Amino acid sequence: MSALNSHNALGRGMGTLLSTDFDKSILLDESERIQKISIDLVSPNINQPRKEFNNDSIGELAESIKVHGVLQPLIVAPIKGEKDKYSIIAGERRWRASKLAELKTVPVIVRDEKEDTKLEIALIENIQRVNLSPLELAKSVNELHQNFDLTYDDIGKRLGKSGRTIANNVRLLQLPKEAIDALNSNKITEGHARSILSLNANPSAQKELLDTIIKKGWSVRQAERWVVAYKKLGADNKTAHERVKTENPYTKQLGKRIDAPVSIKRTAKGGRLEIGFKNEDDLARIIKQLS
């Protein structure tokens, strides 16, 4: 490819990043559409839904910025009553990395937006493009639902998810504080949290399940089986714990007889017996013993 053709191709590529068919009325003067301003004149939006940032990720982006610069402009809006100062609508992660890279200026697009539209843009960008934690995602979606009169189906369409998925995510906000803290600190996963959430009619059962998951290192599947047993058997927690176990005297007896690991997996309606085998020959041996 010739240098001229290469240049033109790069030009077309950049054009695809910066659309020219947006509503020009939302921008300030023509000359101010894309500009470089002092990084000290920019500050985060106080309504930014993301409160925690991964320092390692920010550091990696900062190293990239040192080499390539900020490839995508921040979107900012003038701060009312403060001359030449701007709040970030979208791009706080890039701003943090730029400060870490010790840049003096950053590229921005200035939008004269209303406060509600500013927050909506920030929320949508974070949900779509940033790796939010489950609770951060739930808070952001709830913000859209409460403040912008959007249904979960409406939000789902914007994010490429079903309304049901969106609604289920927001339900995480109903977790007891101890479970929220455990989820935030990665002591439990979102799957564990959903099992705990399904016991919202019984706070004591929620606490017992949470404590057991952390203490015994239960998998999500074990937590789900405990919930099924608890709901089926009522408040008999001891029996519920027994039903989560993958071994009992019968599985041990059978395992000893056929010289193979035997485990039990309970479900809402009965369960299944699992027998492990090493290879095809071992499987044939076990089947012969059982026949």
Catalytic positions, written as ranges: 92
Residue 219 to residue 288: CA distance in whole angstroms:
33
Rounded to whole angstroms, how far apart are CA atoms 186 and 60?
22
SS3 per residue for 155-215: HHHHHCCCHHHHHHHHHHHHCCHHHHHHHHCCCCCHHHHHHHHCCCCCHHHHHHHHHHHHH
Q: Give the closest residue to 195 by CA, choosing from 229, 161, 162, 166.
A: 229
| Contact (CB, 8 A) for 227 and 195 | yes
Short-list 39, 43, 34, CA closest to 103: 39
Q: Which amino acid is at 265?
A: K
Q: Which residues pair with 108 in a beta bridge?
A: 35, 74
